[in-house]
């Protein structure tokens, strides 16, 4: 059962530290408690409430069988985000967002198809008939495709929901999601403009303990939603 962390747990995880006051975005004023030594302090009471709302939404979407795309390419988050996606069976982008992914999905769909086709052929030994040089070229193609679309193989259409870690870093992903009217759940630090985010999670977006805490909760929400759906089917 998902447990929303206490204020103390979030403090220990460093989720309250915003950016320097000189780098803030006025649209985040609502979520700022104050400042200390030139750094904004996030109001963790609001974080706690909004995190709970975001998790309930993700859980509901998961229970309805919706595809939730996890996006985060920052060094601090990319590995745990990828692990979370793999453990929940959700698509992800942890290396590079391909421009036009959402706004020109048919092209991305073709890349996914090509990646699956080449990977299956290599695994089945169907590329063995080619020369060593040609096989190396195939290996390079597969490696590049894996980096670009390896986390998207389960997608047959654009995702229903997108979870973004840091909409400033993932500006292109966020902009495309808004254009396609895809609901966005996002971790927002004090330096971003959260306009357009359906569920804002106001929190430090760099602290490793905070990242681990939130991503574990995202995982639990998705898995609990899937379990609920499975239980209904079994009745």
Q: Which residues contact 81 (CB under 8 A, 6 or more apart)?
A: 70, 71, 72, 92, 94, 165, 215
Provide the edge-to-edge strand list for the sheet that holds 199-202.
92-93, 68-71, 161-165, 184-188, 199-202
User: CB under 8 Å to 106, separation ≥6 — which residues?
Assistant: none
Q: Which residues contact 188 (CB under 8 A, 6 or more apart)?
A: 28, 31, 167, 194, 197, 200, 201, 202, 203, 205
* Span 53-81, pLDDT tens digits: 999 999 999 999 999 999 999 999 999 99
Among 25, 73, 66, CA closest to 202: 25
Nearest one of 155, 153, 86 to 114, comparing CA atoms: 153
pLDDT in tens, 158-187: 999 999 999 999 999 999 999 999 999 999
> Is the pTM higher than 0.75?
yes
Query: How crowded is the C-beta side of 73, counted as CA atoms within 13 Å?
Result: 16
Residue 205: pLDDT band with limits 50, 70, 90: very high
pLDDT of residue 235: 62
Q: What is the set of domains in the chain, with CATH numbers?
A: 20-97+158-234 (3.40.50.10490), 105-151 (1.10.287)
Give percent above pLDDT 70 in the chain. Answer: 99
At 58, phi and psi to the nearest 5? -60, -40
Over range 21-49, report the average pLDDT. 96
């Amino acid at each position: 059962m998902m447990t929303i962390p206490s204020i103390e747990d979030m403090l220990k995880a460093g989720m309250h530290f915003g950016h320097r006051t000189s780098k803030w975005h006025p649209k985040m004023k609502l979520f700022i408690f104050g400042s200390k030594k030139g750094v904004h302090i996030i109001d963790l009471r609001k974080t706690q409430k909004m995190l709970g709302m975001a998790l309930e939404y993700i859980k509901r979407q998961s229970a309805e069988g919706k595809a939730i795309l996890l996006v985060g390419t920052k060094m601090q988050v990319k590995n745990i985000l990828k692990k979370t996606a793999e453990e929940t069976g959700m698509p992800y982008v942890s290396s590079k967002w391909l421009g036009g992914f959402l706004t020109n999905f048919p092209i991305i769909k073709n890349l996914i198809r090509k990646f699956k086709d080449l990977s299956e052929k290599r695994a089945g030994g169907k590329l063995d008939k080619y020369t060593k040089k040609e096989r190396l070229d195939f290996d390079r193609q597969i490696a590049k495709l894996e980096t670009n679309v390896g986390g998207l193989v389960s997608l047959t259409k654009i995702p229903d929901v997108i979870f973004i870690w840091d909409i400033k870093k993932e500006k292109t992903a966020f902009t495309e999601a808004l254009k396609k009217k895809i609901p966005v759940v996002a971790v927002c630090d004090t330096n971003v403009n959260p306009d357009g985010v359906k569920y804002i999670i106001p929190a430090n977006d760099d602290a490793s303990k905070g990242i681990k805490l939130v991503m574990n909760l995202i995982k639990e929400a998705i898995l609990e939603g899937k379990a609920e759906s499975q239980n209904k089917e079994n009745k």
